[in-house]
Amino acid sequence: MKKGKVYLIGAGPGDPKLITVRGLECLKECDVVVYDRLASPRLLRHLKPGTEKIYVGKLPDRHTMKQEEINQLLVDLALQGKTVTRLKGGDPTIFGRVGEEAELLYDNGIEFEIVPGITSAIAVPAYAGIPVTHRDLASSLSIITGHESPDKLDRSIHWDKVTNATGTLIFLMGVAKIGYIADQLIKHGKPPETPVALIRWGTRVEQRTVVGTLATIEAVVNEAQFKPPAVIVVGEVVLQREKLQWYERKPLFGTRVLVTRARAQASELAEQIEALGGEPCEFPVIEISETAEPEAVAALRDALSQAERYDWVVFTSVNGVDYFFRWLQKLKVDVRRFHGAKVAAVGPRTAAALAERGLTAEELPAKFHAEGLLEQLGPELKPGQTVLLPRGDLARELLPRELSAKGLIPVEIDVYETKLAEGQDELALEWLKEKNIHLITFTSSSTVTNLMEVLKRNGIDNPAGLLSGIPVASIGPVTSKTVREAGLEVAIEAEDSTLDGLLQAIINDNKKRKHTTLGGRD
């Protein structure tokens, strides 16, 4: 059997976007990934279907697999002809023991490639607003392991040389030894007032930073009940944090948000959450697809063949616009046949989707839902007019009912259907169970009902009980009503029923909570 190949990859410090382009390429190609605790689990979403996942990470109180066993595991997998990715936190060559793994691969004649990663030694301080060098403060740095017993530290570290060798000292994995490290640095010449910072889970939503001096840092760490993993920075560069802590000042910093939108649409909301400093956790519970029911397709075909009869075409969602034009193309209906109809849209995004296709919406309601549209169009709507409503199969009946009550003729067509999505991320489900989700977003009533159903299908008998205590952000009053009917409470409701309105409401709520707590969420 032909031998496989092993990629020894640095995953970066935690933020999944900090992996290198080459590292991501290797991750997507592999047959099996061997990963540890410090590599972001969100990176595993890039694996191709069927990729084997083997966790070999270490926890503070136990080792799941000894290093020698990991080394042999990589050899065994490659000898089976598999392409293997060994995913390690930070950079694999900096205290990552990549040399031991690569050496055994070499001894067994297995091809390997070392893919560098961004080391936590520089990235984590940067995310805390601490540049490890500075023209006026430090022109050099040392990176030192702190994850040893005091006697081993004394054997591996020449304190008399290290203490004043460089402007900045970076200790990795040394939280439990911070008192001893500080004492040794003072003993060998560092002033007790030298600034010190510890950054826990840097670049992640859990990032937390404490600052003190060599004289005070042990007490600061103990009082804060600060736990590993963390990077320790010693030197005057720590003072830069007061001005430069850009990441922790982002409006959604420290907030992990569950995004329940359809997979095709979730990325837009997720990207905006990420840009605002939050961490999106995509858990799509709805799936949007072209209408397939024969009766619905027949009705749609008949309605579109009579394009000239409509006085209005009213769109209530971006999906309605997208799938309407797909059907026009599929059925070869020329959009110019609707020349006698006025076009209306609910919300600016729906209007923008129309504008991309060269159509300008006649009216935009001040409130972005069906009730607002009816209120805005009231004077324009005349009895006897025919209104085409391209919508989804789960659309509310309010709009056609009210149009009928006003003497108009609504013609509903289901241009798309909403189904229960499958194949949700197991990590997101675990985070929900462990209350590691800080906020749940709902952008439609179907996302609410489908989330409850998905949880039931995953063995959760009482979904409302599982979700209790996690704040809910709703896109508007209609969705909020469904949230309450599901047994949940609405903590945040958008004033404008749009994604931008939802995000703004979340930002406002975050600001309010940070003003009423000491330092906000850790």
Three-state secondary structure of 204-223: CCCCEEEEEECCCHHHHHHH
Bridge-based pairing state of the strands 279-282 and 5-10: unpaired
**Catalytic residue status for 302:** no
- Per the CB < 8 A criterion, the answer to whether 161 and 188 are in contact is no
Would you call 403 helix, strand, or coil by DSSP?
helix
Three-state secondary structure of 70-132: HHHHHHHHHHCCCEEEEEECECCCCCCCHHHHHHHHHHCCCEEEEECCCCHHHHHHHHCCCCC
**Catalytic residue status for 36:** yes
- Per the CB < 8 A criterion, the answer to whether 204 and 222 are in contact is no
| Given 88, 173, 177, 496, the catalytic residue | 173
- Per the CB < 8 A criterion, the answer to whether 157 and 144 are in contact is yes
Would you call 22 helix, strand, or coil by DSSP?
helix
- Cis check for the bond before 131: say yes or no (omega within 30 of 0): no
d(CA 75, CA 111): 10
| Given 58, 367, 406, 481, the catalytic residue | 58
By C-alpha distance, which of 495, 462, 14 is closest to 247? 14
Residue type, 74: L
d(CA 364, CA 344): 7
- Per the CB < 8 A criterion, the answer to whether 273 and 259 are in contact is yes
**Catalytic residue status for 66:** no
Residue type, 510: N
Return the DSSP state at 186: H
Three-state secondary structure of 318-374: HHHHHHHHHHHHHCCCCHHHHCCCEEEECCHHHHHHHHCCCCCCCCCCCCCCHHHHH
Give residues with Cβ within 8 angstroms of 48, minimum separation 6. 28, 29
- Per the CB < 8 A criterion, the answer to whether 6 and 110 are in contact is yes
How many Cα atoms sit within 13 Å of 125 on the Cβ side?
28
Residue type, 238: V
Catalytic residue list: 36, 58, 173
